[in-house]
Structure 1
Amino acid sequence: MLNRVVLVGRLTRDPELRYTPNGVAVANFTLAVNRTFSNKQGEREADFINCVVWQKPAENVANYLKKGSLAGVDGRIQTRSYDNNEGRRVFVTEVVAESVQFLEPRGGGNTNQGQGNDYFGSPGPTGNDSGRQQNNNQNRSSGGFNDDPFANDGKPIDISDDDLPF
């Protein structure tokens, strides 16, 4: 079985952050995702997809995204139901986000165009240390670090055959 959803769209409103009685953060937001085709009038339509994200990522989404922000969501579709105040059964279909990518820089400029920022604590250049990684890359390009740690400046490498793994 497979239940996988990948979306890229813009938030239709600011994320709504709440906490469960146990103190677990949960954020709800809606993504407007453009369709790939036009209607009979030549206009592009969009689908409005409800998303939910939990725990620390929910807090990050609430802190860093706002209405109009471009975001990528990777997750799964979930259906649930509950009885509303009138006693009617309400069915809800939503995307439970496992990963949310912030696809625009925080200020709204295009300085990081094409580079997503994953605020789920993933290590690496798209994780929370992306600023540190970017600074390291700048230092390398400006001569702050040697690009090749094994560069020998044309001199013979001083290593014995016993140190080689093969």
Structure 2
Amino acid sequence: MQNIVILAGNLGLDPESRTTQGGTRITHFTLATSRPRYKDGKVVRDEKGRRVNDTEWHRITAFNGLGKTIQQYCEVGMKVLVRGRIHYTKWKDQQGVDRYGCEIIAETVDFLSRAKQTENDDAGQSDYDDDIPF
């Protein structure tokens, strides 16, 4: 059996990175995915006839080189495709109550929209279309 997840969506916040005492780089970001809302087997539409979508938020974690690339080139709103695995955690809070969490450990991240410009990039590379539909 395999633990594989593939998500395509938009970054909800700019990625945040930290480095452990052992030197491992850990980068976190949130990813918003959406899907049409259904009722009685039919797609729900608003008063203007547009599809109503439900959005889900996913916590994504990447390590080392992948995390460095994400930190360097990704920003809020960017479209990405994440391939990875689901990881569940359990801990006790300060009151001793069991808490549970879920995150996606990224193995690859593909950019579906243009990466943010960095200081080393040429400013003249603006001929790409950012409007990739989902």
Q: Do these two structures clear the TM 0.5 threshold for a shared fold by scoring above it?
A: yes
Structure with bigger strand share is 2
* Cα distance in 2 for residues equivalent to 1:64 and 1:98: 16
Seen in structure 2, the aligned counterparts of structure 1 residues 88 and 7 have a Cα distance that, compared at 3 Å, is same
Partner of 1:34: 34
Partner of 1:111: 128
* Cα distance in 2 for residues equivalent to 1:48 and 1:69: 14
The 8 Å contact of residues 104 and 110 in structure 1, kept in 2 or not, is answered as no
**TM-score normalised by length of structure 2:** 0.74
- Say if 2:7 is the partner of 1:7: yes
Aligned length: 113
| CA apart distance, 1:90 | 2.1
CA RMSD of aligned residues (A): 2.3
Q: Is the partner of 1:111 in helix, strand or coil?
A: coil
Larger gyration radius, structure 1 or structure 2? 1
* Cα distance in 2 for residues equivalent to 1:17 and 1:7: 21
* Cα distance in 2 for residues equivalent to 1:54 and 1:111: 29
* Cα distance in 2 for residues equivalent to 1:95 and 1:5: 8
User: Which amino acid is the alignment partner of residue 80 of structure 1?
Assistant: T
| CA apart distance, 1:93 | 0.8
Correspondence 1:1-166 to 2 at 5 A: 1-35=1-35, 37-39=36-38, 40=44, 42=46, 43-107=52-116, 111=128
* Cα distance in 2 for residues equivalent to 1:84 and 1:55: 28
Unaligned segments of structure 1, at least 5 residues: 115-166
Structure with bigger helix share is 1
Unaligned segments of structure 2, at least 5 residues: 39-43, 47-51, 118-125
**TM-score normalised by length of structure 1:** 0.60
Q: Report % sequence identity.
A: 27
Higher relative contact order (CA 8 A, sep 6+): 2
**Deviation sequence 1:76-107 (CA, Å, 0-9, x none):** 11101223344433211111110011111225
